[in-house]
Amino acid sequence: MDKKFIMIRFLRKLINLNIWGGRHTELTNLKKYIPKHLRGQKITEEAIKDLIEMEFLNTKQSTGQTHISLNSKK
């Protein structure tokens, strides 16, 4: 699998769960949406980092964890 596939999968799942703006979920929960053999891979971390850099995802520190949500302006 390539990074683009993982990025699309993350975005599609967050859209389906309606995780926009003020509604957020833990970063660890996002990794549950891809197959188990990819969860700890470097390509997964790069995909998340790229989505944040492209401003598709907003990040927030909450309860000691990084929470994410979709950027409603995009």
Give per-residue pLDDT as tens, 3-15. Answer: 899 999 999 999 9
What mean pLDDT, rounded, does the chain reach? 89
Averaged pLDDT for residues 35-58? 90
The model carries a pTM of 0.84
What CA–CA distance (Å, rounded) separates 53 from 69? 14
Higher-pLDDT residue of 69, 74: 69
Alpha-helical runs (H) found in the chain: 3-16, 27-30, 42-53
User: What domains sit in the chain, N to C, each tagged with a CATH number?
Assistant: 3-70 (1.10.10)
pLDDT of residue 10: 92
Angular region, 55: left φ>0, alpha ψ -120 to 50, beta rest: left
